[in-house]
Amino acid sequence: FADKATNSIIVSSTKNAWTHINAVIRDLDIRRKQVFVEAVILEVQVDRLRQIGTDPTQVLGAGKSGFLQGIGGFNRAPEELAS
């Protein structure tokens, strides 16, 4: 019997068969490498940045083409942009 929701199985076997089954389970039951990614995407009008007294090119950065690029930072965006 297998239960995907709990990642568990129930095995009924002889002691000899269990030794082999258990070895296979140990080989297969390995933790996969994982990466946690968290992102916040904001849409901000340049006029709003100017209203709060911020130079958009300083907050966002200007690319070679002159377009504003994006906010960089860890775990937070400036609070003034949220309202």
Domain assignments of the chain as residue spans, ordered by start: 46-81
Which residue has better confidence, 55 or 17? 17
| Whether the Cβ atoms of residue 49 and residue 62 lie closer than 8 Å to each other | no
Q: What is the pTM of this model?
A: 0.36
Q: At 68, phi and psi to the nearest 5?
A: -75, 140
pLDDT-derived band at 78, boundaries 50, 70, 90: low
Which residues partner with 45 through β-bridges? none
Which residue has better confidence, 5 or 59? 5
For range 13-24, the mean pLDDT = 93
Residues 14-40, buried b or exposed e (16+ Cβ, 10 A)? eeeeeeeeeeeeeeeeeeeeeeeeeee
3-12, 32-41, 70-79: which is most confident: 3-12
| Whether the Cβ atoms of residue 62 and residue 50 lie closer than 8 Å to each other | no
